[in-house]
């Protein structure tokens, strides 16, 4: 795969899969705009990529919950590189974990402060929605582009406590991705959702069961995203692709 001359925006790009996507895309010749709220770490990672001498990286401080900042990131990408070929929405996380909710004090869903769930829906659903709205203006002018949303097996399974996460991810998997594909078709724009099962971005993910008996290496998820973005993946559109080691095919009831 070769992304020379192509430009991608990656959110959550100071760490995790957002960073790994940016590193891979640049290694394969593409230019990448890396968005994150952690300015110091982001600057370090951007510098690391730029030292390698393949594709160029640009860091943009951006809170995906703020539409003005999202539009500013889009504008900086176009100003620096002239186009946006791929929008990869990696920023996200389960609110009760990211906001460090004390489950002893807040044992069940109705006990958790609503602003915690607001954070989760804003980051996981509104963030990708905002970026779609912003970058589709540029992609419509270009008459080409790809939006990659990141769903989750949790969007299919649900979660009786961290409800913001499956609610948001299901919205990406089954609503936003198909809707973008419908809008974008006349302009040569595609949308695909990649929905991982357990991924070893955190050690705890190793405890989630799959039919293959393991969690994914993060690179396995990124390899699928790169394939979709490459010339070989151009016929994939409007679809949610589960990459979960067979977890979604497992029997749900414990007595079977």
Residues acting as catalytic residues? 165
- Choose among 138, 14, 114, 139: nearest CA to 64: 14
Structure tokens at 174: 């089954």
Residues 6+ apart with CB under 8 A from 141: none
Contacts of 8 (CB under 8 A, 6+ apart): 21, 22, 25, 30, 31, 32, 33, 84, 85, 86, 87, 88, 229
Contact 70, 45 (CB under 8 A): no
């Amino acid at each position: 795969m070769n992304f020379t001359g192509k430009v991608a925006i990656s959110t959550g790009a100071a760490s995790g899969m957002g960073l790994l996507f940016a590193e891979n895309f640049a290694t394969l010749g593409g230019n990448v705009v890396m968005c994150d709220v952690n300015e110091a770490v982001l600057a370090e990672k951007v510098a690391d990529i730029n030292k390698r001498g393949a594709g160029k990286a640009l860091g943009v401080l951006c809170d995906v919950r703020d539409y003005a900042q999202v539009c500013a990131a889009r504008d900086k990408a176009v100003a620096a590189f002239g186009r946006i070929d791929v929008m990869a929405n990696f920023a996200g996380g389960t609110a009760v974990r990211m906001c460090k909710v004390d489950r002893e004090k807040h044992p069940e869903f109705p006990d958790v402060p609503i602003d915690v769930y607001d954070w989760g829906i804003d980051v996981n659903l509104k963030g990708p929605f905002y970026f779609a709205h912003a970058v589709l203006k540029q992609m419509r002018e270009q008459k080409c582009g790809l939006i990659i949303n990141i769903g989750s097996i949790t969007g299919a399974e649900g979660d009786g406590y961290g409800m913001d996460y499956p609610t948001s991810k299901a919205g990406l998997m089954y609503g936003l991705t198909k809707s973008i594909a419908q809008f974008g078709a006349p302009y040569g724009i595609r949308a695909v959702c990649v929905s991982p099962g357990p991924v070893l971005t955190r050690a705890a993910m190793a405890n989630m069961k799959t039919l293959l008996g393991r969690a994914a290496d993060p690179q396995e998820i990124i390899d699928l995203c790169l394939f979709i973005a490459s010339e070989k993946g151009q016929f994939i559109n409007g679809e949610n692709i589960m990459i979960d080691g067979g977890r979604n095919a497992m029997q749900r009831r414990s007595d079977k």
